């Protein structure tokens, strides 16, 4: 369940101008992240004019993929401040008190048990969900839990042990929206280092038109593409995902996206636009 998920947001600027070139045998496959300009545009499809909530590209705030982040870049700050290990005061295995040191051969501060010597390693959590379109409408859920109670989101939540990412996304959709869906393809992977989360969002379609809010949702609704409540979205990851999807429709068809969401220093946790999207890659 998504009870304590990301408290991050978009900045007014989307920084996503990057290139990654990959050589495979004699051919070169290039993955290019074009500079998205999701400013107000007249149409997503040629048949119906639509007004889309906008954001504009600004400067790139991180180094090229595969290189070391610049120390004062958002990417560096996010990785360094992902989790405060000093809050881990007792061993999860034996209950003994911990000390906080950098183990030999490592580079990060860890919580080390003073009794059994075990090290508490912290790993990111995976959040999985579905972007469901039906007849040019998107299924959204209004949250009935904190954080972001009363705001809209895609059905999504934490992946459970023993299920694949696609299975988890379908389960979360059933739990939050009472909808049975068929996964079509992966759409976006969005890493959020500051809070140790990775979002994997799948494109999916309804198997039938039966859906209803589960315990964690106040309401479920199909929104027309030009009526998506961008001013009332719960999380930056959802803001990013929906804008990328609408931009893809404008350009012809959806494609897979990868990016890193980094919080803008000093911004309010409730500001869903206070961040940059770095390392944005797409075919």
Tens place of pLDDT per residue across the chain (283 aa)? 444 444 333 333 333 333 233 333 333 333 333 334 333 322 333 333 333 333 333 322 322 233 233 334 444 443 444 468 999 999 999 999 999 999 999 999 999 999 999 999 999 999 999 999 999 999 999 999 999 999 999 999 999 999 999 999 999 999 999 999 999 999 999 999 988 999 999 999 999 999 999 999 999 999 999 999 999 999 999 999 999 999 999 999 999 999 999 978 777 767 899 899 999 999 8
The tokens describing 171, both together, are 């389960």
CB 98 within 8 A of CB 112: yes
Whose structure tokens read 């770095």?
278
CATH number reported for the structural domain that contains residue 197 in this entry = 3.90.79.10
* Domain span at 274: 125-281
132 closest CA partner among 228, 187, 207, 204 = 204
Same domain, 180 and 247: yes
Same domain, 160 and 259: yes
Our count of domains for the chain comes to 2
Same domain, 135 and 243: yes
Domain assignment present for 235: yes
Same domain, 213 and 274: yes
CB 234 within 8 A of CB 151: yes
Domain assignment present for 57: no
C-alpha dist (Å) from residue 97 to 24, 59, 90, 101: 50, 45, 4, 13
Same domain, 111 and 149: no
Whose structure tokens read 């075990």?
118
- The pLDDT, as a whole number, for residue 83 is 61
Which pTM value belongs to this model?
Answer: 0.72
Same domain, 151 and 250: yes
Whose structure tokens read 């495979």?
24
132 closest CA partner among 6, 238, 5, 10 = 238
Domain assignment present for 241: yes
Same domain, 138 and 227: yes
112 closest CA partner among 102, 125, 126 = 102
Greatest distance between any 2 Cα atoms in the chain: 69
Domain assignment present for 73: no
Which uninterrupted H or E stretch holds 245?
Answer: helix 236-251
Same domain, 89 and 132: no
Alpha-carbon distance of 185 to 90, in angstroms, equals 42
Q: CA gyration radius for the chain? A: 20
* Residue that is last in its domain, among 101, 122, 143: 122
Mapped onto helix, strand or coil, the DSSP state of residue 177 is helix
Strand-strand pairing, 156-158 and 181-192 = unpaired
Alpha-carbon distance of 243 to 162, in angstroms, equals 32
C-alpha dist (Å) from residue 242 to 33, 70, 137, 258: 17, 29, 12, 14
264 closest CA partner among 4, 6, 9, 5 = 9
The tokens describing 197, both together, are 């989360």
Q: Which residues of 164-202 are buried (b: 16+ CB within 10 A; e: fewer)?
A: ebbebbbbbbbbbbbbebebeebbbbbbbbbbebbbbbb
Domain assignment present for 243: yes
Which uninterrupted H or E stretch holds 132?
Answer: strand 125-132
Same domain, 196 and 276: yes
Same domain, 192 and 249: yes
Same domain, 115 and 142: no
Domain assignment present for 231: yes
Same domain, 268 and 207: yes
CB 225 within 8 A of CB 231: no
- The pLDDT, as a whole number, for residue 264 is 82
- The pLDDT, as a whole number, for residue 283 is 87
* Residue that is last in its domain, among 106, 122, 138: 122
Domain assignment present for 178: yes
């Amino acid at each position: 369940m998504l009870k304590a998920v990301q408290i991050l947001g978009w900045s007014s600027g989307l920084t996503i101008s990057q290139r990654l070139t990959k050589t495979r045998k004699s051919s070169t496959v290039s993955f290019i992240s074009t500079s998205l300009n999701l400013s107000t545009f007249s149409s997503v499809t040629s048949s119906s004019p639509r007004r889309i909530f906008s954001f504009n590209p600004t400067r790139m705030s991180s180094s090229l993929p595969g290189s070391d982040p610049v120390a004062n870049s958002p990417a560096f700050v996010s990785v360094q401040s992902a989790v405060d290990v000093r809050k881990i005061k007792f061993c999860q295995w034996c209950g003994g008190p911990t000390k906080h040191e950098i183990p030999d051969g490592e580079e990060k501060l860890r919580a080390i048990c003073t009794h059994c010597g075990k090290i508490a390693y912290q790993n990111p959590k995976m959040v999985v969900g579905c972007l469901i379109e039906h007849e040019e409408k998107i299924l959204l859920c209004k949250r009935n839990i904190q954080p972001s109670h009363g705001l809209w989101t895609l059905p999504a939540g934490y992946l459970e042990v023993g299920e694949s990412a696609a299975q988890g996304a379908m389960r979360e959709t059933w739990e939050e929206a009472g909808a049975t869906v068929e996964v079509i393809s992966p759409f976006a992977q969005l890493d959020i280092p500051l809070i140790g989360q990775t979002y994997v969002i799948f494109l999916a379609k309804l198997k039938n038109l039966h859906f209803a809010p589960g315990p964690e949702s106040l309401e479920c609704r199909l929104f027309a593409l030009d009526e998506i409540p961008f001013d009332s979205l719960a999380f930056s990851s959802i803001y990013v995902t929906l804008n990328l999807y609408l931009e893809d429709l404008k350009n012809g068809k959806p494609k897979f996206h990868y990016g890193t969401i980094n919080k803008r220093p000093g911004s309010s946790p409730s500001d869903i636009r206070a961040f940059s999207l770095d390392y944005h890659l797409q075919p």
